[in-house]
Structure 1
């Protein structure tokens, strides 16, 4: 019984020992995996030769983005030497740091793009060692776990090593390495080329569609430009009519002034005639009184004659004197009749003058009515000129955006032509069976570069079109909405950048990025456009270059926009009349004098803000604009 128990106990002890041995073995394998990889790295340096190996003071091993393995490699190889030179172990978190090492180890995990690392390390005399990489095209030495043999082995892509200018010894393959099948890599490359051709065809079709869409857009812009030129000609004709109408009004004013002076002289003459008429009336009354007295005397004399009939002969001489006196009185009566006739003529003249005065008053009223009608027409023409000015600014935006679009489209067309030429060249090599791996790599690089350049150029075109569409829509609609003032200012200045570049003008926008306001974007865009146009035409006219600065700030419920240029500045007379309508210093050069008046009216009436200006000759101009952060229409 005791011997059986001893046997049984021995068997149990043996089983426990085996299990313990298995566990220890597995743990030892787990621990030795990193040591095996470290040993491989050491032997790779030993059996690979670098072009400038003699000039190296030490061999550098870089572990790419693997901190744990970095510490283990550093611990194992800290004091070891290879080829009588020390080994330096570093941790690389970027390909720029990895490119400085002689050997780079990359532990390939899921979704890791090895092609990016391999492309950045190309032509840097760096040996790329990977672990568990499925991408055989970009590897040089790849470690992998062979489940069949339960061992870590490695495979060699000799073409990549030779391309990098490195040399491997024959003993390296004796360590357990195998060369990667070149035929299989070629088949995979051929499949990738077919996929690339399909993608290139698709990109070419997309580019053709976009070119057609851009051609349609260019035609629309051409039609808009023609319409704008026609409206510009109409505006010029109306300007000529307005100048002629002003001259006609001046002539009418001079004629009215002359008529008023003549009327004033006639009124003075009429007053003098009235005074003379009153004097003559008094004289006639006196003469009538004398005539009455004379009649009384005649009656008395008749009585005396009747009483003194007897004395007629004696008083003959007295009778003759009386006859003479009667003749004189008769002559006086005739004179009085003449005076009455003159008085009647004067009264007729006064009536005629009164009628003439009434006629002048009626004519003056008609002239005043015509002047009022002319003033209304002038106001209507001013509104039309303001609208024409807005259309002119929109035309400048259109021309600027068209100029900006030409540059990225030219870049895209050039890169596409270059890619097409490279495709034809690689196709000829393929048909002649002279296609090499380096030619394929060069072709892939050129196609990738052309595709990236096309994408960036087309994205630039889309961005410009979106900015122009937003600014143009705001100017046409004229409704209030919420905007970011800094971003919207950049969009407006970007649409004007072509005109500024043509005149060598740069701009700068300063201010916090979180200025959100509710305003009328179209009106604000019109203000910025007129200010920039005014600076280019007047401020930078005689200068080789210029600069425009926008400083944006917010205080409470008000936003301050400080527009400044370093141009010629303004004289005091110009500064005093700059906001007056039709005031311009470029009358003979096509200036209408409405640009700054439109700015003033937009800020005051539409944006409910205020604008002031400061300027000194030769020191530029500064416009201080304040508008509310929220506006309700």
Structure 2
């Protein structure tokens, strides 16, 4: 259009008109250059927008599969705990506050994505720097980095409705919820319901189900909410940038329209001018050439503007695709929330069963407390006997010194013959007291071993008894429900079939655990009777040692020690089982105390028949071993390498006396430092 206008221009009369015409041409060049620069910026911006959109799509698709960090696990647990705990004054409150002490990473995770309201209450998060700030929060998380401030935090929250979530807390009485890190980045926890109720809070049994896959789903939900918020923010920024670009395009079009209007006005002015000079034609031709160039450049700018609009349409299409992806993720979140609600319904049923068994567990706890009191009394009795042994030890040293002095006097003087006979009588009396003290020490060791048996068997019996009681209570609950349905006439074949199937499973589980309890008690009774009665009877050596080691298994598991028994079935002996059990108990106790400094040890028992109608029994460990000085004194009375740690030095001396005197056999020991220790016993098959 501009080219046509310039073809219609009249010829300029003079040079002044040519100069006047150069002004709009220069203005038009300026505008064209500005349009070109803005178009280049718009193309750069559209490329960055497309790259951001692709990055957003990739992050949304790959974020749920990223590895879960420990901070994310703890943040997910803290953000979900308010759903299962009720505060006493919620009706007059508008928000709950989570306080984080000692772990800024967990605080950053909590504030990185929005936390949904719970029962209409808004959830806020605060980072605490000292325990005194804990009085203003409702949930206090104490990280391992702030473990030295546990007591101060407990004092600040005592008698307040504040839920304290600690980690690796050694204070069991003050602990409410204690988090424990497990294998494969899993999170376990311990809950003290009594402490929670004492603080005025009320927790639901669903709190026990917040672990494992449910906690990982909560982490994925938090990630999705965080990505949703980021996508909404980026979407808003992209819309603002698109609006700004459209406004700039509108301004450029307005400028082009103004320039066209100015050219039309100039054309009207030039139409009014008349002239026939040749120089005007030359100027007009040069100006027409310049205008043609400008028009060509203007057409190129228009093409670039059209291309930019096409790119903007692509950006809008990308944004619509992002919105559809967000809608799909929101649908997936809704499905996961439905799964969580279904699991919550299942946990409610489990809670009802747990409530029904609570009274039974309370009775069991009372029985355990009674057993603990009995064990404490036995421990007090053992301590008093140890003190008696210490006093008798002093007496023995005094008697030995007196005996030495008496010998010196006997060899140096003959005149005091009568005094010598008197001294000999005293020494005989002292020797009798020494034998009596030795018998008492042996009896004390037997009682200590029996105490270990009682503790181990009580621990082993409690677990199967609890399972049996739980299975029985579940059967009773199902019978009650079955009776109600039968009375109402709503009993169906499917309900009856489910009742019979589940009851059969529960009764089978109960029978297995009660059989296990019966076997444990039978073994315990036999071993206890053998240790208290020194009578001979025929035993299957391998089976009997299995029973003895089973009574000691709790102590071995506590020390992290395994054992193996390699004894043929055909080895039978007529011996004193009580002495045999005492020997094996003392050898195992000696290995636990002296051979192993850390878990992972191994004990090995093997036996074989040898000539002379004897049995060769070998007890070995792969522990620290002994040096030559210790090896030569291992069977000496009162010799111990753990005297400052409660050792008496009588265990191996008792083993030696039992083997040599009661079982009429022989015992030897082999050991090297770092290669373990082996005790070899040669015992007669028929005592």
TM range (shorter): 0.3 to 0.5
- Whichever of the two has the greater Rg, that structure is 1
Question: Whose RCO is larger (CA < 8 A, sep 6+)?
Answer: 2
TM-score (norm 1): 0.46
